Chains A and B, each alone.
Chain A
């Protein structure tokens, strides 16, 4: 039978270590204030000092944030109005139709990550769109969680959380969730992979390395253009670290070597499947039409390498393979050219990215303002931009101009420099990741001259995320140092007295 404790007993019950208002204070306060204080002591303060409760509450808030994002991104067209119309979307579905049980799946026209997701979700457009949107949001929340765990200062955590969320909410990135294309999954896996590497750098263990390696492999298999940055930066870094990082434990160095080799194998595998199905032939044809033929020096080099030159090909100057009713793909006069593009042309094109790098970099520099400032509205078939918060001012959600890119890069470098002394490994890993984003940007630009803005989405979102992390890490270090100095000064003062 329920009984009631006298008021004094009730008061005694609530007087624990977390009690913020004392009895003497309560005695001088009016009754309602005392009741309120008692309620705060009983119901609020204990929770606010309970880390488990805070963790759950934060999780609930994050879940509601994710709900907001998913509803705003998808709700208006939910559930039956998502249509696919990009040729690439059909191509992904065709690849998924092969199923992972068939060897042909791995050498299909598309890298395997997104077709695998499609396969797992029964090739349903709606389900895939929901799941990839959900995963995209979840990945950004994961990045926030990682930032909150690694950064020491509350202000830096808040800044990191804010910047990461704002990048995720940028309509130019988020709109890709509504399409059956690999952009969304690519960005999601990029966020997870970057977060995992950062997590590893903060506390390098074999387990964390394993997670980072798995996430990276998933990211590598999402889009072909992800391979070069990793092959050029990630693989050498892992292998060199396994040799030169003497202070690391043997197991860790061994694991670094293993993951270097594994990811190298994955890179080679992706490259081999690319060659097997010749999926880069369209990019080669486009690049020749739009970028090589207009440049005499480039044209001569390609001709020297064996590109069959003809009047019909000269006529294609300034045109992609899709222009003029796919003339480049259909014209009988260009058969030998197409044959070249299917075979050695792709390799020669790849070579040209290295040989003529200064030229390509200068064209990239020229095109950067357009590429960075693009809001991708022509792809926003489901009007996502109207429903998400508008792009943030002052390029907070990532650089959108050349000056912005410069500023973000400088801030990121400054952050890394500040961090280098106290958190050297984080600084090195993030610097490598940052370097890889520039390779990524370059490869996305030169890789295909058609739909360049679309191809830049992944690299730009990844770049924005890494730069934001670098900046926040710098802020965290600054605040940490300042507070440490203040504590030391106080300690010295007390000692002096």
Chain B
């Protein structure tokens, strides 16, 4: 028996280790929250967000707003994230959900250790390592919230309940059976192929029922455990059937899932052979996983006779779960790296089981470990060192620099690529945030980058072209009613703009192309994107209302080199360039200044710069520039994007020839952005974060402006 002093010293050490562990785990949680906000913005999550944003905009079911081949849980979780956050804060909510899922998995691992005789603190240590792996690890399934991550979260939840003895006490057993049933049902509803894994987890819960003495309760719980998953699984189709939207649901959940299965063109035998190759390759890459699985199997066989009924069920469940996970992967035929989360969880639980058994055996031989209080801390530190601290470090950096969601969004906006700025600025002239955008794309971020929703539920061209991911292409993979629903979507959305990626030109000869040709005019031809505006919007932006004659002000008054009059202004070619001697065209935003310009090149050519100066000297000055035959957007320090006036001319990497031709131009200024139209096409556009005044600065040479007029901005440019 220890003396009070010894006990006090031990207590102090325990506290020291406790606080140190809290420090390390706290750092993990903080790092995961802030880093996964960025890391979670992966492909499928953005796709799901596209659907959710569309649902918010147009209402209806998730399946009316996107092609979903999984259950409604995934979009529902994303819908909740949108509900509790702002647009910019959305991924923080997702990151928080990732923490919850990782925490559940960690808890499941910890419970498993204890269930097979491990010390409580050993369970905590294993939990910390597992948490780090799923929240901040190097694996592609870590730090993201794909549907499979949700499924493993559901399984982890069910596993925790099934393992907990308290859950199966008489007054809780009913609710526990119901909870396990709901969790397994949701998992199966989300991914039907996870049924084997669900069965494995259910097996453990079934075993736990055996502890119930009351026969009626036992039977009721058993019934609940069997019926609930089935009811929850069929609840989704039943709901959509009742709602009259079964066609949309069935198209995505079943028909498209079937296309994905058959679209690879593999026979069952071929799938199995391919699966075998992948399994061998996988374990060559991840030998630690192989060691865990083999050790688990050896341990199961060697110790089977010594196990009690519960331990046998744990081993049996994990074995079935593991086989189920591989079956799921083999059947899906796609071994995307993030799919492996479904395998990682049973493997982690196998590891937890081995550790628990090892501890029990060692304790039997040598008694209690005094160092156990330090194990959680050691596990935390070892996790960071052994599993790679890259994401951890990035998370700490993000946490340290974070001041607010808004400021983070502003910082990202400042670092936006130039070509993206041009598109966003142009879109802002004809539509608002959350308005529909039609796009011919294969990427989910096309809509989110511009704060727009997809005009059609077919957010990717592949859905309309019958292109199966990692499979074949053909009209047989285009869902029935695709074009009918497309027409419905267009009637509903009536998009103001269509975005085409130059690397992926729109295919002709389909209703999509027909719709675009009939309703849109090409307004901007860039190097990465072509922007088409709906015909009425194109009229407003490219041609617009000329308005009245404009007499520009000279900033320097009489001291100015500019000669200005009604509808005209000139600056001599030999005038000394001056940032102060500018021609003031508009004191505020929301205007359309048009006219003609004829450059009078000086020694360095000609350089017209339409400047947007904010109210304060510290505000960033945005510019739309015409330098000889090149038009570009930027600020005082950076060029965002550029095009050549005549794109048919080949860039010879030599100085552009002097341009002395007369060009029609218009500076179209909305509430949030401005575009420079030259010769009937948008050539450059820039976002204006703050109110600004418009002026023209000649940075080289002179210019003759004629027919200067000021008119109204486009109707949907955000101006009242």
Q: Decide yes or no: A3 and B19 within 8 Å by CB, A75-B396, A78-B400 being known contacts.
A: no
Residue of B nearest to A76 (CB): B400
Q: Decide yes or no: A71 and B400 within 8 Å by CB, A2-B211, A4-B169 being known contacts.
A: yes
Inter-chain contacts of A1 with B (CB < 8 A): 211, 213
Q: Decide yes or no: A387 and B401 within 8 Å by CB, A56-B18, A66-B23 being known contacts.
A: yes
B15 touches A56 (CB 8 A): yes
A60 touches B19 (CB 8 A): yes
Q: Is A196 an interface residue (CB 8 A)?
A: no
Distance (Å) between the CB of B380 and the closest chain A CB? 13
Residue of A nearest to B168 (CB): A2
Q: Is B557 an interface residue (CB 8 A)?
A: no
Q: Is B689 an interface residue (CB 8 A)?
A: no
Residue of A nearest to B26 (CB): A67
How many A-B residue pairs lie within 8 Å, measured between CB atoms?
66
- Most chain B CB atoms below 10 A, which of A74, A77, A78: A78
B400 touches A3 (CB 8 A): no
A67 touches B400 (CB 8 A): no
A71 touches B27 (CB 8 A): yes
A76 touches B169 (CB 8 A): no
Inter-chain contacts of A66 with B (CB < 8 A): 23
Q: Is A59 an interface residue (CB 8 A)?
A: yes
Distance (Å) between the CB of B515 and the closest chain A CB? 49
Specify which of B18, B27, B397 is in contact with A67 (CB 8 Å cutoff).
B27
Distance (Å) between the CB of B245 and the closest chain A CB? 36
Classify chain B: how many residues form its interface, as a range: 20 to 34
Q: Is A248 an interface residue (CB 8 A)?
A: no
Specify which of A3, A63, A67 is in contact with B170 (CB 8 Å cutoff).
A3
B396 touches A78 (CB 8 A): yes
Residue of A nearest to B165 (CB): A2
Inter-chain contacts of B27 with A (CB < 8 A): 67, 71
State in angstroms the CA–CA spacing of A314 and B204 once bound together.
92
Q: Is B386 an interface residue (CB 8 A)?
A: no
State in angstroms the CA–CA spacing of A60 and B15 once bound together.
9
State in angstroms the CA–CA spacing of A280 and B85 once bound together.
59
State in angstroms the CA–CA spacing of A414 and B15 once bound together.
39
Q: Is B327 an interface residue (CB 8 A)?
A: no
Inter-chain contacts of B649 with A (CB < 8 A): none
B401 touches A75 (CB 8 A): yes
Inter-chain contacts of A386 with B (CB < 8 A): 403
Inter-chain contacts of A2 with B (CB < 8 A): 165-166, 168-169, 211
B213 touches A3 (CB 8 A): yes
A59 touches B169 (CB 8 A): no
A63 touches B23 (CB 8 A): yes
A64 touches B401 (CB 8 A): no
| B133-192 interface (Cβ within 8 A of A) | 165-166, 168-171
Q: Decide yes or no: A387 and B400 within 8 Å by CB, A2-B211, A4-B169 being known contacts.
A: yes
| A1-28 interface (Cβ within 8 A of B) | 1-4
Classify chain A: how many residues form its interface, as a range: 20 to 34
A78 touches B213 (CB 8 A): no
Residue of B nearest to A64 (CB): B26
State in angstroms the CA–CA spacing of A67 and B15 once bound together.
16
Inter-chain contacts of A62 with B (CB < 8 A): 19
B170 touches A78 (CB 8 A): no
State in angstroms the CA–CA spacing of A358 and B70 once bound together.
83
Distance (Å) between the CB of B479 and the closest chain A CB? 48
Residue of B nearest to A62 (CB): B19
State in angstroms the CA–CA spacing of A56 and B213 once bound together.
40
Per-position 1/0 for A239-259, Cβ under 8 A of B: 000000000000000000000
State in angstroms the CA–CA spacing of A187 and B480 once bound together.
74
Q: Decide yes or no: A75 and B400 within 8 Å by CB, A1-B213, A2-B211, A67-B30 being known contacts.
A: yes
State in angstroms the CA–CA spacing of A76 and B213 once bound together.
58
State in angstroms the CA–CA spacing of A79 and B397 once bound together.
9
Q: Is B399 an interface residue (CB 8 A)?
A: yes
State in angstroms the CA–CA spacing of A64 and B26 once bound together.
7
| A44-82 interface (Cβ within 8 A of B) | 56, 59-60, 62-64, 66-67, 71-79
Inter-chain contacts of A76 with B (CB < 8 A): 397, 400-401
Distance (Å) between the CB of A137 and the closest chain B CB? 10
B393 touches A79 (CB 8 A): yes
Inter-chain contacts of B403 with A (CB < 8 A): 386-387
Distance (Å) between the CB of B31 and the closest chain A CB? 8
Residue of B nearest to A81 (CB): B397
Inter-chain contacts of B401 with A (CB < 8 A): 75-76, 387
Residue of B nearest to A75 (CB): B400
A75 touches B399 (CB 8 A): yes
State in angstroms the CA–CA spacing of A66 and B19 once bound together.
10
Q: Is B22 an interface residue (CB 8 A)?
A: yes
Residue of A nearest to B15 (CB): A59
State in angstroms the CA–CA spacing of A168 and B19 once bound together.
20
| A261-290 interface (Cβ within 8 A of B) | none
A63 touches B396 (CB 8 A): no
| B1-39 interface (Cβ within 8 A of A) | 15, 18-20, 22-23, 26-27, 30
Distance (Å) between the CB of A38 and the closest chain B CB? 13
Distance (Å) between the CB of A496 and the closest chain B CB? 47
Inter-chain contacts of A73 with B (CB < 8 A): 400
Inter-chain contacts of A4 with B (CB < 8 A): 169-171
State in angstroms the CA–CA spacing of A46 and B663 once bound together.
83
Inter-chain contacts of A79 with B (CB < 8 A): 393
State in angstroms the CA–CA spacing of A2 and B168 once bound together.
8
Residue of B nearest to A4 (CB): B170
Distance (Å) between the CB of B171 and the closest chain A CB? 5
A71 touches B22 (CB 8 A): no
State in angstroms the CA–CA spacing of A3 and B211 once bound together.
9
Inter-chain contacts of A71 with B (CB < 8 A): 27, 30, 396, 399-400
Residue of B nearest to A73 (CB): B400
State in angstroms the CA–CA spacing of A67 and B26 once bound together.
7
B170 touches A59 (CB 8 A): no
State in angstroms the CA–CA spacing of A55 and B195 once bound together.
47
A63 touches B393 (CB 8 A): no
Q: Which 5 A-B pairs have the closest CB atoms?
A: A75-B400, A4-B170, A76-B400, A75-B396, A63-B19
Q: Can you report 16 residue pairs joining A to B where beta carbons are below 8 Å apart?
A: A2-B165, A3-B213, A56-B15, A59-B19, A62-B19, A63-B20, A64-B26, A67-B27, A71-B27, A72-B400, A73-B400, A74-B396, A75-B396, A75-B401, A386-B403, A387-B403
* Given A2-B211, A56-B18, A79-B393: 12 more A-B contacts, CB < 8 Å: A1-B213, A3-B170, A4-B170, A59-B15, A59-B19, A60-B22, A63-B22, A71-B27, A75-B398, A75-B399, A77-B400, A78-B397
